[in-house]
Amino acid sequence: MATPKRILVINLGSTSTKVAVYESEKMILTESVNHPADDLRQYKTIIDQYELRKSTILGVLTAHNLSLDEFDVVASRGGNTKPIPGGIYAICPALIDDMKSGKFGQHPNMCGGIIAYNLGKERNIPALTVDPPTVDEMCISAHYSGIPQIRRQSSFHALNSKATARKIAARLGREYDEINLITAHLGGGISVGAHRKGKVIDVNNSLDGDGPFSPERAGGLPAGDLVRLCFSGEYSREQALKLLQGGGGLVSYLGTTSGIEIEKRITAGDLVAAEIFEAMCYQIAKEIGACAAVLAGRVDAIALTGSLAYSQRLVDSLTEKVSFIAPVLVDPGENEMEALAAGAMRYLNGEEQLSVY
């Protein structure tokens, strides 16, 4: 019997460091270490957090009597890079340089990628990332915005969206590159993507662009009204951007990003909360319908994933609206650690080759 492969998975959030250990497909350890905001304020940049984050990861391993010598590969969630096709990438100096440059945005997983690269060098094992958030497989038409000064960007929850698509394909007894489906990642941000034969040919910019509003993002807004708001003199550039990302969506209407809290309000009879929550479902359904048009109506399944997919109210509302397009299948949760481990196993098993950055 072949010796199980051991995989170290790391995922750095804005205030947390997540560590998981897999033996092949089986998770044997998962731990999330929270970093108090006051502790992080002493660091001027994300890269300055390197030693803190690395020692946190090694501390988790030490606490569970694990050594780096036991691992065959280390996988980190991707940071912001130039637009690239989906795939499994070796973390390399060019990739790190682009993350550190800030040209493509900043995220704590920039630091995670550098840690993974250095741990891999220390142990002489591969350091990988899978389907980073800047995956761009959009068709040519999808990149046009309507004015030449703005090009629509691919910025979405690629890791979980593509991992969910693979799982749904397997549930249908098919391969990912054989089917058409629509995934809706429903979390703090919402990504709705049209997958055609293994490529996400269109998807809303879930960071600060178009699409449905979400718990903390405004989504697509009436363009003229947005321009007038920005030039009203009431908002600075930073305040206007905050309305789009972090201060828009459910939190702007209801003061919370928690779907659980909002559903409790609805159950208690809060009609305003019910109306706004349903409006979000309405916009998600419209985006799913738009993806169905992109796929010319040939859709094998619609997959709902992300933390909000645990909400039966949301699932029922969307199913009622879009099940005429295709069967609605649910795979709730962020699933990022699992997706990274699965990508690493596809590489270790020779099922998927490394893409070149």
Domain identity same for 198 and 112: no
Indicate the pLDDT class of residue 306, thresholds 50, 70 and 90. very high
pLDDT value, residue 324: 98
Q: What is the mean pLDDT of residues 250-263?
A: 96
Stated pTM of the model: 0.91
pLDDT value, residue 355: 92
Length of the chain: 357
Domain identity same for 118 and 238: no
Domain identity same for 177 and 298: yes
Domain membership flag for residue 207: yes
Q: Please give the structure tokens belonging to residue 208.
A: 């600060």
Burial of 200 (0-12, 13-18, 19+ CB in 10 A): buried
Domain membership flag for residue 161: no
Domains of the chain: total: 2
Q: Yes or no: say if 95 and 139 are a contact pair by the CB < 8 Å rule.
A: no
Indicate the pLDDT class of residue 322, thresholds 50, 70 and 90. very high
- Per-residue exposure over 128-151, b if at least 16 CB sit within 10 Å of its own CB, e if not: bbbbbbbbbbbeeebeeeeeeeee
Domain identity same for 119 and 10: yes
Cβ neighbours of 59 (radius 10 Å): 14
Q: Is 152 helix (H, G, I), strand (E, B) or coil?
A: coil
Q: What is the mean pLDDT of residues 175-184?
A: 97
Domain identity same for 104 and 218: no
Domain identity same for 145 and 292: yes
Q: Please give the structure tokens belonging to residue 292.
A: 């169905």
pLDDT value, residue 2: 62
Q: What angle do CA 34, 245, 12 make, to 5 degrees?
A: 25
- Residue 226 pLDDT > 70, yes or no? yes
Q: 39 versus 304: which is more confidently predicted?
A: 304
Give the 3-state secondary structure of 71-133: CCEEEECCCCCCCECCCEEECCHHHHHHHHHCCCCCCCHHHHHHHHHHHHHHHCCCEEEECCC
Q: What is the mean pLDDT of residues 25-32?
A: 94
Domain identity same for 246 and 119: no
Phi then psi dihedrals of residue 242, to 5 deg: -65, -35
pLDDT value, residue 312: 97
Q: Yes or no: say if 165 and 180 are a contact pair by the CB < 8 Å rule.
A: no
pLDDT value, residue 308: 96
Residue 100 belongs to a domain with what CATH number?
3.30.420.40
Sheet of 6-12, strand order: 26-34, 16-23, 6-12, 73-76, 127-130, 88-90, 354-355
Q: What angle do CA 280, 286, 287 make, to 5 degrees?
A: 90
Q: 52-56, 168-172, 207-211, 237-241: which has the minimum mean pLDDT?
A: 207-211
Q: What is the mean pLDDT of residues 121-128?
A: 95
Q: pLDDT tens digits for 105-122? A: 778 888 999 999 999 999
Indicate the pLDDT class of residue 227, thresholds 50, 70 and 90. very high
pLDDT value, residue 8: 98
E strand or H helix that includes residue 9: strand 6-12
Indicate the pLDDT class of residue 149, thresholds 50, 70 and 90. very high
Q: Which residue segment(s) compose the domain that 315 sits in? A: 140-149+173-326
Domain membership flag for residue 156: no
Domain identity same for 218 and 195: yes
Return mean pLDDT, the chain: 94
